[in-house]
Structure 1
Amino acid sequence: MYRVWNFVTNYSLLLIGGAIIALVWANVDAHSYHDFVEMVLIDDFIIGHAHLDEAGNVHRTLTLHYLVNDVLMAFFFAIAAKEVWEAIILKNGSLRGKKAATPLFATAGGMLGPIVVYLGLAMLLGSDTFNAVSRGWAIPTATDIAFSYLVGRLVFGAGHPAVRFLLLLAIADDAAGLIILAIFYPSGELAPEWLLLSAGVALAVFVLFNWLPRVMDRGDQLRTKSSWVRKYLSFWPYLIAGALSWYGFQEAGLHPALGLLPVVPTIPHADRAFGIFSEAETYLTDLLNTIEHALKHPVEIILFFFGLLNAGVEFASIGSPTWLVLFGLLLGKPMGVLIFGYIAAHPLRLGLPAGMRTIDLLVIGCVAAIGFTVSLFVASVAFDGSVQLEGIRVQDAAKMGALFSFSAAIIAIVVGKICRVEKQKA
């Protein structure tokens, strides 16, 4: 039923491969690695890193790092947004109704717990440390869906209700993460009027190429107008709208990697979803799923380069921010999920899925502590490369904490054994 191993082989191994190459390269020849990361592709371009020239005019330089992190990663976040959107909007969506209540409470705990641990420990280390690292509070809130889901299946077995609970938590965590990135980590000085461009093109493409053809097809069983739009225009109107929306985000000062999010809900979609890991998902032929399938392999390659360009941290960079991120994930995430999940399930009487125990919440929290992909991304936008603490770049030290979060997999397996989790086959 599930195509997890195929997904992990393509998606995860390429990402890990890029990260491993980056780690080796940065520790063998840091100078050439950073020259590669900041390679200038096009100087004085319409998109890229903005800075003022000698005349005081805004000058943009398109580097390899900007191309991957700010432009191409928009497709990764679009796929994440697609899963979140379907979970919320569809009648059988996984984040709708009472069944989602306890996972949503647990998600809130799984985000607040890491923030409390991260900032609390930073305060204990002194004002200098706190001032240097406080902007990175969101780094340990992330949960990597693919890796966490894989480890969850190893710990609980494919048929355990805790696996479904974990997937709901991870999807909700992604949704909250997108909001946090948009609100708390702008890429530059805010110019919100540019968001009118993003909103305008999203509304226009929805009305002209989704809503209007369906209205014109009322009473027409062959759906002539909608079929013509799908056959001859396909995804092009949405790609153009996405490009304009992306530009609007860049000029608005929001992180442009989120620029496709307003367009995703405008694309025609099926009336049900089976989930990102479901084999049945491959047989959905609505335009939204068709676009997702077409993006699968390009996004795999993008994630390889994301790992290559962001995980290159020298081991000498390990410092206080590393342990703050790691403890935020390894301590804050499990305790937050357990406490908030317990409150939702028992005092609030929202309950747990049949066959799931309260102690399973602790194990789920340990699995969800694998931050990796999104934690790396947040670390790259939370800190300027020039910010240092104890002679170490805070950004690099925080990234190392995100990389070390893979240790949560081992911890989850051990905690699962201690808590006597019984694996259940699908």
Structure 2
Amino acid sequence: MYRVWNFVTNYSILLILGALIALVWANTDASGYHHFIETPLWFNDYIGVHYSHWAHAYGHGAEAYEVGDVERVLTLHYLVNDLLMAFFFAIAAKEVWEAVILKNGSLRGKKAATPLFATAGGMFGPIAVYLGLAAFMGSDVYDAVANGWAIPTATDIAFSYLVGRMVFGAGHPAVRFLLLLAIADDAAGLIILAIFYPSGDLALEWLLLSLAAAVGVYALFNWLPRVLDKGKELRPISTFVRQKLNFLPYLVAAALSWYGFMKAGIHPALGLLPIVPTIPHADRAFGLFSDAEKYLTDLLNDIEHKLKHPVEIILFFFGLANAGVEFSAIAEPTWLVLAGLLIGKPLGVLLFGWFAAKPLGLGLPAGMRVVDLIVVGCVSAIGFTVSLFIATVAFSNETLPSGVSVQDAAKMGALFSFAAAFISIVVGKLLRVEKQEL
């Protein structure tokens, strides 16, 4: 139990704490909470939400600010969701990149085939349940909630891994299967965010700035030093770049890429993704949450290690800035998100995973049963972090016929997806999952 609690404190507790504070605050002083998260930090013409959007979100009291003629407002909410969360998604992208590009990457070869099929099922299943039930509720509800179809496709990788270890034990092959599914789910989620949820009017020519930043930093600080050091045993130029410049060139490139994404109308939280593959990386990876990762000294892993604690603090503020939903907001989108996660996920993972393992003959990891796919599906139904994020970008001012905010109701569904943890434990007991420790 100590190891489980240690994992919670390392990866999850600050996020949970931020979410709980937000829930209590929003349900005891809603106006004070919303004024806090929409606190204006900088009135300017460069970054932030458009002024009219901020004035509407801030509500009463916005007129008290003497701002002059400005276009944008950098708020606490924008700072967390659009800027700081870019580091969270960069870490997720690092894991996906290594899983795909490295020779022993977990998403390469036949061993990844069945988890990838299960991932597809874990996305199509929730979408079918969400949109199907929305259509059954009537056209007014469907029209209001349809844009949130991607909310129940998400899997919170940290919480799912935690619950998976509790249900299966750290040594069970289903835990690794779950991790592969979650990593692939993250990759698909990043693509969905980029394509289907632009942050504004598209101006794709600005992506050339991101491309130039990525190509430039790779050519000048990764490829060129290795070329110049060819045949030199001590590799003096590469050593100088690593020791003296370290991550600074990549930080500058990241800032340019982030700005390019913002101006292009693609969600800027994804802005660091083009830079991740340009950073020198190891030729192997031990896997997400592995203690052995700390022994890798390549620049990419070094940056990830340095970001670990800052990202934990960022996730606290993410929970604080996004989980503040009043319980009166529980409505149709809440149940749609929950149904997509708690029904669509397990069914999709089971059906697609079974089809890959049996009819297609791709098989399951040794020691894993087909019925374990049901439990994996239940565990992966914990959407939380990414579901909250998608709910935030999928809806803005939409309301249901009842007047309830669609975004708030959908967020409540993402928060309630924690129920999947208890469901997973019960289903694991019913299906007689035998825990296997390392």
Query: Shorter-chain TM-score: which interval?
Result: over 0.9
* Aligned pair partner of 1:62 in 74, 77, 84: 74
User: Partner of 1:425 in structure 2?
Assistant: 437
Matched, 1:320 2:332: yes
- TM superposition shift of 1:45: 4.2
| Cα shift at 1:385 | 3.2
**1:229-278 per-position Cα deviation (integer Å, ceiling 9, x unaligned):** 11111100000000000000000000000000000000000111111211
| Separation (CA, whole Å) in 2 of partners of 1:379 and 1:248 | 23
Q: In structure 2, what is the equivalent of residue 397 of structure 1? A: 409
SS at match of 1:348: coil
Task: For residue 159 of structure 1, give the secondary structure of its aligned residue in structure 2.
Answer: coil
- 1:44 corresponds to which residue? 44
Q: 2-side partners of 1:198 and 1:389: how far apart?
A: 41
Unaligned runs of 5+ in 1: none
Deviations 1:276-312 (A, max 9, x none): 2111101111100110011111111100000001000
Larger displacement relative to structure 2 (371-380 or 270-279): 270-279
Matched, 1:351 2:363: yes
Which amino acid letter does the alignment assign opposite residue 391 of structure 2? Answer: A
Partner of 1:26 in structure 2? 26
- TM-score relative to the length of structure 2: 0.94
Q: 2:209 aligns with which of 179, 190, 197?
A: 197
Letter in 2 for 1:378: I
Segments ≥4 residues shifted beyond 4 Å = 2-5
| Structure 1 residues 414 and 7, CA gap change in structure 2 (3 angstroms) | closer
Amino acid at match of 2:185: D
Matching residue of 2:234 = 222
Partner of 2:165: 153
* 1:117 aligned residue: 129
Aligned to 2:98, what secondary structure does the other structure show?
Answer: helix
SS of 1:392's partner is: coil
Counterpart residue type for residue 11 of structure 1 = Y
Distance in 1 (alpha carbons) for counterparts of 2:208 and 2:3: 40
User: How far, CA to CA, are the matches of 1:156 and 1:117 in structure 2?
Assistant: 27
Aligned to 1:379: 391
Amino acid at match of 2:257: S
Retained in 1: the 8 A contact 2:15–2:318?
A: yes
3-state SS, counterpart of residue 61 of structure 1 = strand
How far is 1:51 from its partner? 4.7
Partner of 1:42, secondary structure, is strand
String of CA shifts for 1:93-140, please: whole Å, max 9, x gaps: 000000000000000000000000000000000000000000000000
Deviation of the 1:8 alpha carbon: 2.3
TM-score, reference length from structure 1: 0.97
2:7 and 2:162 in contact (8 A); partners too: no
**How much has 1:158 moved relative to structure 2?**
1.0
Q: Distance in 2 between matches of 1:43 and 1:404?
A: 36
My pick for the range that moved more, 383-392 or 76-85, is 383-392
* Structure 2 unaligned residues grouped into runs of 5+: 54-68
2:388·2:414 contact (CA, 8 Å) conserved in 1? yes
SS in 1 for 2:71: strand
Which residue number corresponds to residue 279 of structure 1?
A: 291
Residue of structure 2 in register with 1:308 after alignment: 320
Give, as a single letter, the amino acid of the residue that structure 1 aligns with 2:98.
E
1:245-256 mapped onto 2 (5 Å cutoff): 245-256=257-268
**Partners of 1:83 and 1:153 in 2: how far apart?**
19
Q: Report how many aligned residue pairs link the two structures.
A: 422
2:254 corresponds in structure 1 to 242
Shift of 1:11: 2.5
- Given that residues 4 and 277 in structure 1 are in contact (C-alpha distance below 8 angstroms), is that contact kept between their aligned partners in structure 2? no
Moved more, 4-13 or 244-253: 4-13
Is 1:35 matched up with 2:35? yes
Give the structure 2 partner of residue 270 of structure 1: 282
Query: How far is 1:418 from its partner?
Result: 1.0
Q: Secondary structure at the match of 2:256?
A: helix
